[in-house]
A and B are shown apart, each in its own frame.
Chain A
Amino acid sequence: MYVFYVAMLKRDIVGHKVLLKSLYPLLHLQPLKKGKLKLMFKNTSFNSIGGALNRVYALLLSFILIIVLTPAQVSAQDDGIPTDEAVIASGEKLFKANCTVCHAIHDKVVGPALKNVHQRRDVAWITAFVKNSQKVIKSGDPYAVKLYNEYNKTEMTSFDFENEEILSIISYIKQESSKNPAAAAPAAAESGDVAAVTTNQGPSPFVNVILIVLTVILVLILVVLAMIIGLLKKYISQKDGLSVEDQEIASQTTDFGALVKSNAFLGLVAFIFTAIVLKSVIDGLFTIGVQQGYQPTQPIAFSHQIHAGQYEIDCNYCHTGVRKSKNANIPSPNICMNCHSSIKTESPEIQKIYAAVENNEPIQWVRIHNLPDLAYFNHSQHVDVAEIECQTCHGPIEEMDVVYQYAPLTMGWCINCHRETDVNTKGNEYYDNLVELHAEKSKEPMKVEDIGGLECSKCHY
């Protein structure tokens, strides 16, 4: 039961902004600290450092959540909206093709969130509004006028839909409204923070347990053996008429002092010590300049989690160079303004963008991924030609509230990928001859390494 509440809660935090907002005052948290909140619950789910306090919080929150969610779940009544799967599917198609530009089910985008719209207005009103919103507004409908004013007098485009089509869209909205946070669930379940990522890369935790158990057993065996020796010695020394040899054994004592002072022992210790120091120095030197996990504070609290995760905006939409250039490009404010000229205009963070535009001062983002100047990297080669996902190098960017450097960006890391990755040759005439030649030699798929991907002047010139 407890686990279920936590899971639900996590889904809500990730996927349900309105709900989240209502929770903030309760938690005395600012929206900006959402990341911390998430981490806190992640700890509880791992059952590790979180501690009792968090558990209490979580319980408290889940109860609150149940209370908040209850009314939504008790609203299933018959209202003439079809529940047929086919109708809902066609409604979904229409919704995604026509409505998502301005509307989302659970969130305010350009227009209002459409969750439970069938409860707020009847089907006839919705139909009339979709067909010609201006007509409804001009007719003096108080709800329509209020809505129009609330959304900065943004006119909704008129749609030439059949009544059945509008009904199918409403049926889709109704279905989506009932299973509210579902969309974000898989993302939440997959989410992992830096710590999780690093443990995944190391050996399994079981190995450590097995090693510890083994050590304990060995130590125990040692103790038992020592005890047996002691016992046997005691037994022998009590016996009379021992041979000289046996006597010698019986009177033998272990001289630890001599052992410690022996050259062999000292040499061994010195060797081990030097080896450890050297190893740690070398390891330390290798981390110089490696900024994995680097997460600087940015001048504007832009969240990839909201934009890429929640709203699933394509990376290419903002990072316009990623398919055609060496640089992915940090979006210029005119791209932000495509949406933020009407969305969240009052937010202090968005205001910073306005200020930058007005004052003609470019925004100075802190660069996170810093390749040294001596290495040439080209995004379009990797994203456009090789069709590698952004996440392969940038990690779960759609979950990052504040972006951090996911990959080590060391040469070893680059090289390793070039060794392991198959070349994306499908439908690319450039590689035809290479694929043919490779097939003659090997049955393995062609790796980047096989076509010179490890050569110096592929990246250094």
Chain B
Amino acid sequence: MGINHKMENTKKQYWKGLEELTKNPEYEKYADKEFPEYLPVGEEAEGGTGASRRDFLKLMGFGVAAASLAACETPVRKAIPYLNKPADVDPGVPNYYASTYVNGSEYCSVVVKTREGRPIKIDGNKLSSVSGGGTSSQAQASVLSLYDKERLTAPELGGKKVSWEDLDKEVIKQLSSAKKVALVSNSVYSPSTLKSIEGLQNKYPSLVHVQYDQVSASGILSANESSFGIKALPSYDFSKADTIVSFDADFLGSWINPTLFSKQFAQTRKLSNGKKSMSRLYSFESNLSLTGANADYRTAIKASEQGVFVANLYNAIASKVGMSKVSAPKIADSAILMKAAADLLKTKGRSLVVSGSNNENVQVLVNGINSMLASYGATINLNSAVYTKKGDDKEMINFIKGLNAGSYDGVIFYNANPVYDHAQGAQIATGLKKAKFSISTSDRKDETAALATVIAPDNHYLESWNDFEPVAGKFSFSQPTISPLFDTRQAQESFLAWAGDTASYFDMLKSSWSASLTGDIQAGWDKLLQDGVVEKTIETTEITFVGDVSSAAQKVSTPASGLELVIYENYSVGTGIQANNPWLQEMPDPITKSVWDNYITVAPKMAEELGLVLGDMETQLVSLTVGNQTIKAPALVQPGQAAGTIGLALGYGRTNGGKVANKVGVNAYPFIDNTKGFQNKSVTSGVKLELSGEKYRVAQTQTHETYMGRENVVQESILSKYKKDESAGRYHPMISTYSGAKKPGTISLWKGHEYPNHHWGMTIDLNSCTGCGACTVSCQAENNVPVVGKEEVLNRREMTWLRIDRYYSSDAPEGDLTAMEIAAENPEVTFQPMMCQQCNNAPCETVCPVAATNHSSEGLNQMAYNRCIGTRYCANNCPYKVRRFNWFKYHDNDQFADNTSMNNDLGKMVLNPDVTVRARGVMEKCSFCVQRIQAGKLNAKQEGRRPVDGEITSACASACPSEALVFGDLKDPNSKISQMLKIKEVENEKGKKDLEVTEPRAYHMLEELRVDPNVWYFTKIRNKEENEA
């Protein structure tokens, strides 16, 4: 059996991981098995010590007796109504409130679904132009953080619980007597919060406000100040860019505002309906990021080479537009860079160059390039400043120096945890001993709060009032969706109290906004809260580039020769603020597909040099030394990792984050290099890596489900071919019959189904999907999907209904091992969301001995848990491997304490009451969010109308920032999905009406099996040149 997938027409090679590419024997052992997961049955039988027939009978007898006894005693259940029912809360009817998710510099305007006053689900606010109606995985997961058992339940003074009055008295006393106080926070972009801090400063003039960001953009801020005289982070509009060049700016994953950028980028990548043009993305980076994975041309460069690459690009463009060149060393292979320069110039005014570097000089060069390309005013808007990353690295470094010099009497940490998430965290910890007092408003006893003398815990954002201005003139609001669960107080409320202001924060917020309203103030205020967003016009000023590029070019570092460490922010845990959220910990990283760990990513070649031997999800611990710091972390071989670099993710290695967060990974923050006066995530000197010899297992999910070497899983082509033939890249399998080869759709054993009412379907555009993973967390929240923990993932028993398969591919011919090896250094990447395909001729349905899975008249492959007896035949027969078996009882089970949404009373509040929590021993799978379908239908029936397109959508589709997933009714000719698929009604040979999909890009995965899914994939089209494809 061929393991590598190939496609008939392109001869491309696809592989899911290096294990598959190198035909690792461990991998092959599992790949050939129908059920690769660990099965306890066989082991016991082989060992001979397992259960005997007698034991079985005993157990069965006991089981029957226990079951009947348990069933006889019906427990008395209580029905407890409200004492005074709030007028707008009806048990069983969800309410939706517009609010804003903010976590450090992560921002998302959201709509919160509440049931019986409990927030249970977060969705994007479609009215917001700042987050574009999409969500990130972190925003999706934030609802579980509300019900975190590790949150502080009361204010603390010197480690003892006190009342707020006592705390206020003590704090006021200390603040009044202090000579100098600092308020340390992440970027604050809430106008009213800033006002409350100002109030505090007015009362205590010695108070200084220090802002820092975990991942700062202070390089861009300083560069813009020197280039344009405006110290601001500009708004970027990727939707207007035809050529994008990114130097390590992971704008699709973590850079500034990935949710909006994903949407904008996807707009330029959507084809069909006559649109045959798309943007081209060049990426130059060290670690394989989401942006690199989605790039048409990706070049792996060392972090220290970035400046030189930028300078060379500057020169290439400058020479064409007649500007003077800057001094820059030559680079060895500049073909792709020159190509990028040519493309940028070709699309002048519709081009965009971005860099993730925090080096001011690199950013000045980038500004120079963008201004030569006339990007300002087109794809970059400096007037509409972004406020989510205001932190000035120098300010924070100065504060730490001052703290250690004993010049601060006290520090207020406003929702900031610099002891953990700042490079000099250890210095802050020691410096704090010199301060007389320290106050933390953290929601938990985190690394910083544990050292604070006073803890005044803040509310969760879902319990708070607030306003935000993430982008100049674009405001949004937070409103409480639940009363505070604990005796916590909003931090702004504390600031007001400490400033001696008796007004509540809500009053202050409302009065300041009322001032800007005209007409009926209450109605205007209500509208603000209902929409959650409001925009004001901003003044625009003319921008001229006055940056000194030549001196910047001189200061840009020259390429280093040693090993380089590139620290990055991943897409699940991010900066680590929400590290105690198990949904995020178990969300597979889109690139490495690993869960519950961070690791050192090493290039395949380097792994070979190190002598790293890999097993099935097994690797070795390596010790990483930078300067005088050494840590041990697992090494993970990552295709696409630039030679001479290694990567390490932030957000792990918490020591006081909570029970879920604490045991996971290593802390990368201390490695951040602040020696040059700015936060530098690339360490370019003094990095050493040694094999420790200790074995370690990293749980990776990608190779868990295999299609048994079947073809046409991914179908892709390039733009030039697509322009000639819209079905380019499509694979048309034929079935051999006695009367010749036929299309799979024309022959069938099946009678087919009639769908008189609805026919639900989904399209997944592989061109739009960036792999961000917001859909997977959304699915987990909506459908009560349990978290199983690292051990169980290692046993290949993850429960996620929706997974995103990540494929590496290359054009190297099969069998050419040298070529493949080169390809593995920097492969192409494809993301493919995979859930139950809701087959019309479902193989799972026919093999179920108890008809627990069967077909509905709306095209759904329905799963009745209570009927299931757990034979797992269905999982066996599913060609897509999307069925999940409940090996354990994951709820109310101490063994799965990490599954916090089902194992404590607080966590359980997040469960969706409309979806069953599954029991042990049953199968489960994606239901197409049938509960949402039913609710939408009922809503329409009650209003005596047909459902409107878009009213009913699945959790994954509603979470998707790039609108790659579209859910809808195929029977509705006006629905978006029908339009996208270009559905025509045809008569089949039996004279029945059938739907025919005529969109040339749409394909069924594994079409030759004729299972006739209701999910269509749209071919991936890369914007590459033909000769290179």
Q: Is the CB of B68 within 8 A of A288?
A: yes
- The distance from the CB of A231 to the nearest CB of chain B, in whole angstroms, is 57
Q: Is the CB of B864 within 8 A of A460?
A: yes
Q: Is B867 positioned at the interface, with any CB of A under 8 Å from its CB?
A: yes
Q: Is the CB of B866 within 8 A of A455?
A: no
Nearest CB in chain A to that of B76: its residue = A366
Q: Which of B83, B93, B927, B940 contacts A332 (CB 8 A)?
A: B83
Q: Is the CB of B938 within 8 A of A374?
A: no
- In the assembled complex, the Cα of A460 lies from the Cα of B865 at a distance in Å of 8
Q: Which of A324, A332, A363 contacts B85 (CB 8 A)?
A: A332
Q: Is the CB of B857 within 8 A of A451?
A: yes
Q: Is A193 positioned at the interface, with any CB of B under 8 Å from its CB?
A: no
Fill in one digit per residue for A321-332: 1 if any B CB lies within 8 Å of its CB, else 0. Answer: 100111101111
| Residues of chain A from 101 to 117 with CB closer than 8 A to chain B in the complex | none
Q: Is A235 positioned at the interface, with any CB of B under 8 Å from its CB?
A: no
Q: Is the CB of A331 within 8 A of B81?
A: yes
Q: Is A296 positioned at the interface, with any CB of B under 8 Å from its CB?
A: yes
Q: Is the CB of B931 within 8 A of A380?
A: no
Q: Which of A326, A363, A370, A451 contacts B80 (CB 8 A)?
A: A363
| Residues of chain B from 59 to 87 with CB closer than 8 A to chain A in the complex | 68, 71-72, 74, 76-85
Known: A457-B856, A461-B931. A360 touches B83 (CB 8 A): yes
Q: Which of B83, B857, B915, B944 contacts A452 (CB 8 A)?
A: B857
Q: Is the CB of B72 within 8 A of A430?
A: no
Q: Is the CB of B941 within 8 A of A430?
A: yes
Q: Is the CB of B84 within 8 A of A332?
A: yes
Nearest CB in chain A to that of B80: its residue = A362
Q: Is B47 positioned at the interface, with any CB of A under 8 Å from its CB?
A: no
Residues of B within 8 A of A243 (CB): none
Q: Is A357 positioned at the interface, with any CB of B under 8 Å from its CB?
A: yes
Q: Which of B78, B91, B867 contacts A325 (CB 8 A)?
A: B91
Q: Is B511 positioned at the interface, with any CB of A under 8 Å from its CB?
A: no
Fill in one digit per residue for A441-458: 1 if any B CB lies within 8 Å of its CB, else 0. Answer: 000000000011001111
Q: Is the CB of B92 within 8 A of A456?
A: no
Known: A291-B74, A325-B93, A367-B79. A384 touches B942 (CB 8 A): yes
- In the assembled complex, the Cα of A332 lies from the Cα of B84 at a distance in Å of 6
Q: Which of B71, B91, B858, B916 contacts A460 (CB 8 A)?
A: B916
Q: Which of B78, B92, B914, B945 contacts A430 (CB 8 A)?
A: B945
Q: Is the CB of A428 within 8 A of B938?
A: no
Residues of B within 8 A of A321 (CB): 90-93
Q: Is B934 positioned at the interface, with any CB of A under 8 Å from its CB?
A: yes
Nearest CB in chain B to that of A299: its residue = B78
| Residues of chain B from 941 to 961 with CB closer than 8 A to chain A in the complex | 941-942, 944-946
Q: Which of A430, A434, A455 contacts B940 (CB 8 A)?
A: A430
Q: Is the CB of B68 within 8 A of A327?
A: no
Nearest CB in chain A to that of B862: its residue = A457
| Residues of chain A from 409 to 433 with CB closer than 8 A to chain B in the complex | 427-430, 433
Q: Is B757 positioned at the interface, with any CB of A under 8 Å from its CB?
A: yes
Q: Is the CB of B77 within 8 A of A366?
A: yes
B side interface size, CB within 8 A = 47
Nearest CB in chain B to that of A458: its residue = B934
Q: Is the CB of A451 within 8 A of B93?
A: no
Q: Is the CB of B756 within 8 A of A461?
A: no
- In the assembled complex, the Cα of A356 lies from the Cα of B916 at a distance in Å of 33
- The distance from the CB of B59 to the nearest CB of chain A, in whole angstroms, is 20
Residues of A within 8 A of B91 (CB): 321, 325-327, 329
- In the assembled complex, the Cα of A381 lies from the Cα of B938 at a distance in Å of 6
- The distance from the CB of B856 to the nearest CB of chain A, in whole angstroms, is 5
Q: Is the CB of B71 within 8 A of A385?
A: no
Q: Is B836 positioned at the interface, with any CB of A under 8 Å from its CB?
A: no
Q: Is B127 positioned at the interface, with any CB of A under 8 Å from its CB?
A: no
Q: Is B995 positioned at the interface, with any CB of A under 8 Å from its CB?
A: no
Q: Is the CB of A451 within 8 A of B757?
A: yes
Q: Is A90 positioned at the interface, with any CB of B under 8 Å from its CB?
A: no
Residues of A within 8 A of B76 (CB): 296, 366-367
Q: Is the CB of B757 within 8 A of A363?
A: no
Residues of B within 8 A of A456 (CB): 854, 856, 862-864, 867
Residues of B within 8 A of A291 (CB): 74
Residues of A within 8 A of B79 (CB): 330, 364-367
- In the assembled complex, the Cα of A77 lies from the Cα of B573 at a distance in Å of 90
Residues of B within 8 A of A324 (CB): 90, 93, 942
Q: Is the CB of B930 within 8 A of A370?
A: no
Residues of B within 8 A of A342 (CB): none
- The distance from the CB of B64 to the nearest CB of chain A, in whole angstroms, is 10
Known: A455-B856, A458-B934, A461-B915. A363 touches B864 (CB 8 A): no
- The distance from the CB of A142 to the nearest CB of chain B, in whole angstroms, is 41
Q: Is B860 positioned at the interface, with any CB of A under 8 Å from its CB?
A: yes
Residues of B within 8 A of A384 (CB): 942
- In the assembled complex, the Cα of A371 lies from the Cα of B518 at a distance in Å of 52
Q: Is A333 positioned at the interface, with any CB of B under 8 Å from its CB?
A: yes
Q: Is A348 positioned at the interface, with any CB of B under 8 Å from its CB?
A: no
- In the assembled complex, the Cα of A285 lies from the Cα of B68 at a distance in Å of 8
| Residues of chain A from 379 to 395 with CB closer than 8 A to chain B in the complex | 379-381, 384-385
Q: Is the CB of B92 within 8 A of A327?
A: yes
Residues of A within 8 A of B856 (CB): 452, 455-458
Q: Is the CB of B78 within 8 A of A366?
A: yes
Nearest CB in chain B to that of A368: its residue = B79
Q: Is the CB of B81 within 8 A of A329?
A: yes
- In the assembled complex, the Cα of A350 lies from the Cα of B74 at a distance in Å of 30
Q: Which of A320, A326, A362, A370 contacts B77 (CB 8 A)?
A: A370
Nearest CB in chain A to that of B84: its residue = A334
- In the assembled complex, the Cα of A362 lies from the Cα of B91 at a distance in Å of 15
Q: Is A293 positioned at the interface, with any CB of B under 8 Å from its CB?
A: no
Nearest CB in chain B to that of A327: its residue = B92
Q: Is the CB of B944 within 8 A of A428?
A: yes
- In the assembled complex, the Cα of A333 lies from the Cα of B81 at a distance in Å of 8
- In the assembled complex, the Cα of A453 lies from the Cα of B916 at a distance in Å of 20
Nearest CB in chain A to that of B860: its residue = A457
- In the assembled complex, the Cα of A457 lies from the Cα of B934 at a distance in Å of 9
- The distance from the CB of B538 to the nearest CB of chain A, in whole angstroms, is 43
- In the assembled complex, the Cα of A362 lies from the Cα of B78 at a distance in Å of 11
Q: Is A373 positioned at the interface, with any CB of B under 8 Å from its CB?
A: yes
Q: Is A378 positioned at the interface, with any CB of B under 8 Å from its CB?
A: yes
Q: Is the CB of A367 within 8 A of B78?
A: yes
Q: Is the CB of B944 within 8 A of A427?
A: yes
- In the assembled complex, the Cα of A268 lies from the Cα of B989 at a distance in Å of 56
- The distance from the CB of B600 to the nearest CB of chain A, in whole angstroms, is 43
| Residues of chain A from 341 to 375 with CB closer than 8 A to chain B in the complex | 356-357, 360-367, 370, 372-374
Residues of A within 8 A of B930 (CB): 457, 461
Q: Is A140 positioned at the interface, with any CB of B under 8 Å from its CB?
A: no
- The distance from the CB of B80 to the nearest CB of chain A, in whole angstroms, is 5
Q: Is the CB of A385 within 8 A of B93?
A: no
- In the assembled complex, the Cα of A380 lies from the Cα of B935 at a distance in Å of 11
| Residues of chain B from 906 to 944 with CB closer than 8 A to chain A in the complex | 914-917, 927, 930-931, 934, 937-938, 940-942, 944
Q: Is the CB of A325 within 8 A of B85?
A: no
Q: Is A57 positioned at the interface, with any CB of B under 8 Å from its CB?
A: no
- In the assembled complex, the Cα of A455 lies from the Cα of B937 at a distance in Å of 15
Q: Is the CB of B942 within 8 A of A333?
A: no
Q: Is the CB of B77 within 8 A of A374?
A: no
Q: Is A51 positioned at the interface, with any CB of B under 8 Å from its CB?
A: no
Q: Is the CB of B80 within 8 A of A365?
A: yes
- The distance from the CB of A78 to the nearest CB of chain B, in whole angstroms, is 53
- The distance from the CB of B65 to the nearest CB of chain A, in whole angstroms, is 13
Residues of A within 8 A of B945 (CB): 429-430
Residues of B within 8 A of A379 (CB): 92
Given A360-B83, A455-B862, 14 extra CB contacts under 8 A: A324-B90, A324-B93, A329-B90, A330-B79, A363-B81, A364-B78, A373-B916, A455-B857, A456-B854, A457-B856, A460-B864, A460-B866, A461-B862, A461-B930
20 interchain pairs (CB within 8 A)?
Answer: A296-B76, A325-B92, A326-B914, A330-B80, A332-B85, A335-B85, A362-B82, A365-B78, A365-B80, A370-B74, A370-B77, A378-B938, A380-B938, A381-B938, A381-B941, A429-B944, A437-B756, A457-B930, A460-B865, A460-B916
**A-B pairs, 5 with minimum CB distance:** A326-B92, A457-B862, A325-B92, A327-B92, A367-B79
